[in-house]
Structure 1
């Protein structure tokens, strides 16, 4: 049996800002379980401007008491592949775990688009599949745990993105408030004398 999850959310920020925040979302206070994130490959199609990125993410896992004999090392490697199309204002990300796949495989797809009702906002559609190949009557139990944990982590991920977006907004406001003449000589200063 497979557990499915779907959720659509929105951010009151422009698509450009949300997709930029996506690359900056680690670290944040809601992602303490993320231990590392590395870019493995990145390329831009010169004809279309489409950006393709592959990243490897290391996360610290959590197991219920009844599952602690199933896995010795709970750290999980996640492969994340993303495609950003600046012409259609669409970003699609796909992630899946590389280890512990027999116990539980989590496959997630997120699609970031301009919000259909407000062009200054961004809509995010999240879809996931949780699959366990365990037998002995544990499949349903593992998949139920997986879907509940995924929903909890998705809520934290949205809070993390909101945190990063707010920091970007604050930085932009500070930059806009800084006088453009900062560092330039004041109008009352005299010209340097020629020797």
Structure 2
């Protein structure tokens, strides 16, 4: 059985600011579980002008007591692939774990676009699939745990993005807050 999650949210920041914050969101005080974020590949498609980025994230997760018998290492590698379309002002980001896939596989897709009611806002739609292939009668329990953790982490992720957005808007304005290599 597969568990599904959907959520929509609005940031009261422009699409440009939110897209930039997406790439600068680690580290932040709401994402202490993210240990590392590395760019594996990045290019601009000359035909479309779209920015394609692949990053590898290392995250440390929480394992319930009953899960300690199955998994000894609570660190997981996550592959994040994103496409930024500056002409349409849309971004799609897909993440999926590359470790512990048999225990629990989580595939998340986020769509970022200018909000229909106000161009100074950004609409974000999140969809996720949570699947376990463990068997032994644990599949439903693992998927239920994964769904609850995912929903809880979504709220924390929003807080982290808000924190980064506020840092970008800080005293020096958006441009003054940017690192030199961005």
Q: Normalising TM by the smaller chain, what interval?
A: over 0.9
Residue number in structure 2 paired with 1:121: 121
Shift of 1:70: 0.6
Measured in 2, the distance between the counterparts of 1:77 and 1:175 equals: 32
Measured in 2, the distance between the counterparts of 1:171 and 1:50 equals: 31
* 2:28 alignment partner, SS class: coil
Query: RMSD of the alignment, in Å?
Result: 1.3
Aligned positions of 1:99-178 closer than 5 A? 99-173=99-173
Residue number in structure 2 paired with 1:89: 89
Question: Runs of at least 4 residues of structure 1 off by over 6 A?
Answer: none
Deviations 1:131-165 (A, max 9, x none): 00011110000000000000111110000000000
Residue number in structure 1 paired with 2:4: 4
Shift of 1:48: 1.8
* 1:4 alignment partner, SS class: strand
Unaligned runs of 5+ in 1: 177-195
**2:79–2:95 CA contact under 8 A, matched in 1:** yes
Deviations 1:18-73 (A, max 9, x none): 00001110000000000000000000012321000000000001100011111111
Measured in 1, the distance between the counterparts of 2:171 and 2:26 equals: 17
The structure number with the bigger radius of gyration is 1
Measured in 1, the distance between the counterparts of 2:174 and 2:32 equals: 28
Residue number in structure 1 paired with 2:179: none
Measured in 1, the distance between the counterparts of 2:72 and 2:174 equals: 48
Measured in 2, the distance between the counterparts of 1:24 and 1:175 equals: 14
Measured in 1, the distance between the counterparts of 2:82 and 2:10 equals: 19
Provide TM-score, normalisation by structure 2: 0.94
1:45/1:101 CA distance change after superposition, 3 Å: same
Unaligned runs of 5+ in 2: 177-182
Provide TM-score, normalisation by structure 1: 0.88
